[in-house]
Amino acid sequence: MINYADTAFVLICAAMVCFMTPGLAFFYGGLVRRKNMLTIMMQSFIAMGVVAIIWFICGFSLAFGTDVKGVIGNLQYAFLNGVGMEPNAVYAGTIPFAAFFLFQLMFAIITPALITGAFADRMPFKSYLIFLSLWSLLVYVPSAHWVWGGGFLQQLGVADFAGGIAIHTSAGVAALITALVLGKRTMQKGEEAKPGNLTLFAIGTAILWFGWFGFNGGSALAANGKAAIAFVNTALAGGVTMVTWLAISWKHTKHPSLTEALTGAVAGFVAITPAAGYVAPWAAVLIGFAAAFVCYGAVQFRRKKGLDDALDVVGVHGIGGIFGSLLVGVFAQQAIGGLDGLIAGNAHQLLVQLIGVAAVATYSAVITFVLLKGINLFSRIRASEQLESAGLDTEFQEEV
C-alpha cells in the first residue's frame, strides 16, 4: 500500500542525488587545469542522458528484474514494462515502483561519472562516451544486481546500505585500472597540474554534501527512523573526517588547505555510505575518524608511487568505499539495520563483506581493463599529445 510520506521523501531524495552529478561536475571541474574544465564537466553531465537511456531500455531490468542464477536480472522491466504507480513489494512496498526506478537511476548515473576524475585530461570525448555506455551496462548493472537485486552477494548476506560496494568500490577500482592503462598526463616544461578554480570546487563540494543526505537517507526507501539515523551518520562521518583529514594534512604540509579539508569531507561521506543505515552514530564517528587516516594514507601512497590518478578517485572513493564496506561487518547492529557485526558477536558478517568487496572489485578490474583495450582498437582511449597539450576543451571548438 502506498504511503504518501514515504513517496514524497524518496522523490525528494532522488532529486537530491540527481543534483549530485552536476555537483560532481563542479567538484571535478574546479580541480582540473582550466584547459580541461569543460571536458570533465561535460563527462558528468552527459552521463545524465546516456545512463538514463540505458536504464530505461534494459539497465534497470537487468539490475532489478527476477534473478537468473544469481548473476543478472531478466528483461521483465525493459522499457519500464510493469514499472508504474503501484508498489513492488520486493523492493519497496510503500512507494510507487516508478519512484524506486528513479531513485536507483540517480545512483546509476553518478557511478561512472566518478571514474572520470582518475583519467582527467587524457581521454577524448568520443572514447569516453563509448566507455561510459559499456561500463554502465557491463559493470555497474551486474554489480547492482549482485548486491541489491537478488544476486549471489545479496543471497550470501552482503550488506551495502547505499553503495559502498556497488558504487564506490566498482568505480574506485575502475579508476585505478584506467589510470594505469592510460598512463601519466603530458605536462609542458614548467607546467603544473594546479586546480583551475577552487571556488567552483568548493561549490561542487557543497552540492555533494547536500545531496549525500538524500544518497544515504533515501536508501531507507521510507521516511522512518532508519532514514533519520542515516542522515545523522552522514553528517557526523563527513564532519569528523574533514576535521581529522585537515589536521593530518596541516601537520604534514605545515599549512591549512581548503582542498585537503573538502577532500576529507568527501572521503568521510564515502566511508559511511555502506554503513549509514546499519550503525549507531558513535560508530559513524569512529568510521569517519579512521577513514581520514586510511584514505589520506592511500592518497600519499599513490603520490609516492607516481600513479597519475588525477583527482584521487582511488584513494577517496575506492579505498573509502572498501574500508566503509568492511566496517559494516564490524559495527552493524541488529537494532538499527537488522543485522549484527563483529562487535555484536557476528564475525561471519565481516567475512561476508570481504567476499562482497573482493567479488565486485575483481569483476570491475577485469571488465574495465578489457573494455579499455577493446575500445582502443577502434577509438583511441588516450588523447593525442597535441590535443592533450592544447587541452581537451579544444574538442568543443565553438565554446573555447
| Residue 136 buriedness (CB in 10 A; 0-12 / 13-18 / 19+) | buried
Strands 72-73 and 67-68: antiparallel
DSSP state string for 344-399: GT-HHHHHHHHHHHHHHHHHHHHHHHHHHHHHTTTS-SS--HHHHHH-GGGGSGGG
3-state SS class at 86: coil
Count of all residues that appear for the chain in the document: 400
pLDDT digits (tens, 9 = 90+) for 274-323: 999 999 999 999 999 999 999 999 999 999 999 999 999 999 999 999 99
User: For residue 190, what pLDDT is reported?
Assistant: 62
Category of 142 on φ-ψ map: left (φ > 0), alpha (ψ -120 to 50) or beta: alpha
Element containing residue 163 per DSSP (H, E):
none
Which residues on adjacent β-strands are paired with residue 92?
88
- Report the distance separating Cα 77 and Cα 56, nearest Å: 9
DSSP-derived secondary structure letter, 233: H
Element containing residue 138 per DSSP (H, E):
none
Residue 339's φ and ψ, nearest 5 degrees, are: -150, 155
pLDDT at residue 215 greater than cutoff 90: yes
Domains parsed from the chain with CATH numbers: 4-380 (1.10.3430.10)
Instruction: Give the least confident one: 30-39, 306-315, 389-398.
Output: 389-398
pLDDT digits (tens, 9 = 90+) for 219-240: 999 999 999 999 999 999 999 9
Task: Kindly give the interhelix angle for 198-217 and 258-272, rounded to the nearest 10 degrees.
Answer: 10
Segment 48-71 mean pLDDT: 98
User: For residue 189, what pLDDT is reported?
Assistant: 66
User: For residue 51, what pLDDT is reported?
Assistant: 98
pLDDT at residue 9 greater than cutoff 80: yes
Category of 150 on φ-ψ map: left (φ > 0), alpha (ψ -120 to 50) or beta: left
- Listed in sequence order, the residues at least 6 apart from 25 whose beta carbon sits closer than 8 Å to its beta carbon are 40, 41, 42, 43, 44, 45, 113, 204
- Report the distance separating Cα 241 and Cα 53, nearest Å: 36
Share of the chain above pLDDT 70, in %: 98
Band the pLDDT of 328: cuts 50, 70, 90: very high
pLDDT digits (tens, 9 = 90+) for 144-184: 999 999 999 999 999 999 999 999 999 999 999 999 999 99
pLDDT digits (tens, 9 = 90+) for 239-266: 999 999 999 999 999 999 999 999 999 9
Band the pLDDT of 194: cuts 50, 70, 90: confident
Cell of 7: 513517496
Nearest 5 degrees, angle CA 189-CA 190-CA 193? 105
User: For residue 398, what pLDDT is reported?
Assistant: 59
Helices marked H in 218-318 — which ranges?
A: 225-253, 258-272, 281-305, 313
| Residue 387 buriedness (CB in 10 A; 0-12 / 13-18 / 19+) | middle
Nearest one of 284, 290, 275 to 245, comparing CA atoms: 290
User: For residue 193, what pLDDT is reported?
Assistant: 74
Band the pLDDT of 116: cuts 50, 70, 90: very high
Segment 190-201 mean pLDDT: 84
pLDDT at residue 192 greater than cutoff 80: no
